[in-house]
Amino acid sequence: MANKIMKSTLASVLAIMSVAASVPGTAIGNVISDTAITASANVVSGSFATEELPDGTLCITKFEGTGSVIDIPDKLDGKTVTKIGDKAFMGNEYVTEIYFSNYITSVGEFAFCNCTALKSVYCSNSVKSIGRGAFANCVSLTEILNLGGLETIEEGTFQKCTSLENIYFPSSVKSIGAGAFQECTNLKEVYFDGTTIGKKAFYNCENLSTIDMNDVVDIEDYAFFGCTSLNQINPYEVKTIGNSAFGSCTGLTKLNLVPFKNLTSIGNDAFANCKNLKEVSLSENLTTLGKRAFANCHALNEIEIFSDKLTTIPMGAFATTGITTIAIPEGVTSIDGAAFNSCKSLEYVKLPSTLKTIGAKAFDNTGVKNVTYNGVKGQWNKIEIGEGNDVLESAEKLFITEAAYPNVSREIIYDSVKLSWTAVNGAEKYGIIEKIDGEWVMLGSCSGALEITVGDLQPGWHDFAVIAMIDGEWIWDEEDENSSYSTAYAYISKPTTYPEIKSIDYNEPTHQIRFTWEKVKDADRYGIAVYLAGKWRVQVQNITGTVYTTPKNLTPGKTYKVAIAARVNGKWDVANAIKNAVNVTVK
């Protein structure tokens, strides 16, 4: 084809501008805005206008032909073509297929935007970047193949490609930009190995039913809003779910977020208006739940909250749902206004001892009949309850004092027991009680500490517990034989003044014996005696530890009778040592 030189005319510039005016915006406002292009005089080869890039290669700046199948040439005028420029094909009504050469490395912004007849795009592995809005509003596009080494799908790249049904991303793609597939209403399947899904990336993709996104970490605002065919989500590595991310996803019926171990934040309205959602389980590491997160999920009748890191049930979080019971976990300090407003089937509520405030109308227009409070009445009376929660006052209440009982563990040290316990919310001090002759007896109290040692105990079994004082009152039912106290049993042995041997070890090559014994209380010395020729003969009596090794080269096969004695308060207990002597044979 003969080459010819021509200059850009005012008419051609106006034509580009008039087409650019129809570039679609995203639902987040006009994120994809018009971008002016400044170019020097164009070189036209056949139907392509080009400009030279700083590296000496060419960029196609305009296609002016009417062909339907376009092969991007390797070279023009002897120079390699490496880029398709901004708006180069924008608004072309004839192109149906595009084939990239192996030299194309980038596609500019809005390059094929509004190419309404374009059905197929064949990229190459050399393409590293595709600009924002590059294929936006290509309403006939059904396939785009070989996306090569892309790392990012930019903002609005395939927005309103209403014929696109599926897309497979190479593993190199780590993020999908804002509005990238917004309103791709026939998109059904997406397979993605990256980490980030941008704002409104799949907004109103009403036929999207399958999205494989196991490695996704961040799902941004409105990412899947209005995806009414989506029936399950599987981003097990996700940390954050943004505002309205799955709002109005009416295909969701069950949401089990427990396997999502990294999930810490769910945004405002994240699952609002998922009207067929019936069951929800929230993950154990969740720290933030957004306002109205599950509002208007009318079919929702079961909620399980496993996180002990959540401190607030926010405004309207579960408003207008069908739940019948709710158990708020320990750690939650506030239930904000309207949190459960108009949950008309809600009859049973379990509230934590950590709760400090209940906002206005949090339980208004509900059927609450029973309230179980994980604390004592004095704590309940201190909760600040806002207006419009009369149902809580009239409900039957059960106070569970077990929450005020510390969990106790013990360590026995001779005739003493070291007690340690867990803190109780609101405790002013702790009392140590022991069951003596079938009754609990107060031994003493302490404040500011979570351990104490009880000493000089008599031999035998001892049964201890720790109780808390809350609001000036000991949480202690002395007559309750089936009390839920966390008890610590300890058996104190009769004190001995002779060592009990723990182990005897032999070293055959050196013909030695090593003795190890239990420490004797208040002993400052230990001695070793051996029965030889009808008499006990002391071998050593200045041992300060609890291990003794005999000299080398004892006679193999010979049996010795050995006693270990202790000196307590300056006195050797020889008699008991001899009574507990052991026979050992040299190996």
Q: HEC states along 61-120?
A: EEECCCCCEEECCCEECCEEEEEECCCCCCCCCCCCEEECCCCCCEECCCCCCCCCCCCE
The answer to whether the beta carbons of residues 270 and 246 sit under 8 Å apart is yes
Which of 244-248, 379-383, 521-525 has the highest mean predicted lDDT (pLDDT)?
A: 244-248
Q: For residue 449, what is the domain's CATH number?
A: 2.60.40.10
CA separation for the pair 182, 354 (Å, rounded):
43
Residue 483: per-residue pLDDT: 53
pTM for the model: 0.68
Q: What is the pLDDT of residues 76-129, one digit of tens each?
A: 989 999 999 999 999 999 999 999 999 999 999 999 999 999 999 999 889 999
Q: Is residue 169 part of a domain?
A: no
Q: For residues 343 and 455, which has the higher predicted lDDT (pLDDT)? A: 343
pLDDT at 280 exceeding the cut of 90: yes
Residues 122 and 61 reside in one and the same domain = yes
Residues 22 and 97 reside in one and the same domain = yes
Residues 22 and 117 reside in one and the same domain = yes
Q: In what order do the strands lie in the sheet with 501-507?
A: 501-507, 512-517, 547-549
Residue 478: per-residue pLDDT: 58
Q: For residue 327, what is the domain's CATH number?
A: 3.80.10.10
Last residue of a domain, one of 349, 372, 399: 399
Residues 255 and 346 reside in one and the same domain = no
Q: Is residue 115 part of a domain?
A: yes
**Average pLDDT, integer, range 437-458:** 89
Q: What is the percent of the chain where pLDDT is above 70? A: 90
Residues 265 and 209 reside in one and the same domain = yes
Residues 208 and 246 reside in one and the same domain = yes
Residues 335 and 391 reside in one and the same domain = yes
Q: Is residue 170 part of a domain?
A: no
Last residue of a domain, one of 309, 338, 359: 309
Strand 69-71 and strand 97-99: the pairing is: parallel
Q: What is the pLDDT of residues 189-224, one digit of tens each?
A: 888 888 999 999 999 999 999 888 889 999 999 999
Q: In what order do the strands lie in the sheet with 416-421?
A: 408-413, 416-421, 451-454
Residues 9 and 123 reside in one and the same domain = yes
Residues 139 and 210 reside in one and the same domain = no
**Average pLDDT, integer, range 472-482:** 64
Question: What is the domain range of residue 527?
Answer: 501-585
Mean pLDDT computed over every residue of the chain: 87
Residues 14 and 129 reside in one and the same domain = yes
User: What number of other Cβ atoms are within 10 A of residue 504's Cβ?
Assistant: 13
Q: Is residue 389 part of a domain?
A: yes
- Phi/psi for 462 (5° steps) reads -130, 140
Q: Is residue 443 part of a domain?
A: yes
Q: Please state the domain count of the chain.
A: 5
Q: Is residue 222 part of a domain?
A: yes
Last residue of a domain, one of 468, 492, 516: 492
Q: Is residue 361 packed enough to be buried (19+ CB in 10 Å), middle (13-18) or exposed (0-12)? A: buried
Residues 519 and 377 reside in one and the same domain = no
Q: Is residue 457 part of a domain?
A: yes
Q: Is residue 438 part of a domain?
A: yes
Encode 533-550: b = buried (16+ Cβ within 10 Å), e = exposed.
Answer: eeeeeeeeeebeebebeb
Residues 329 and 236 reside in one and the same domain = no
Residue 106: per-residue pLDDT: 94
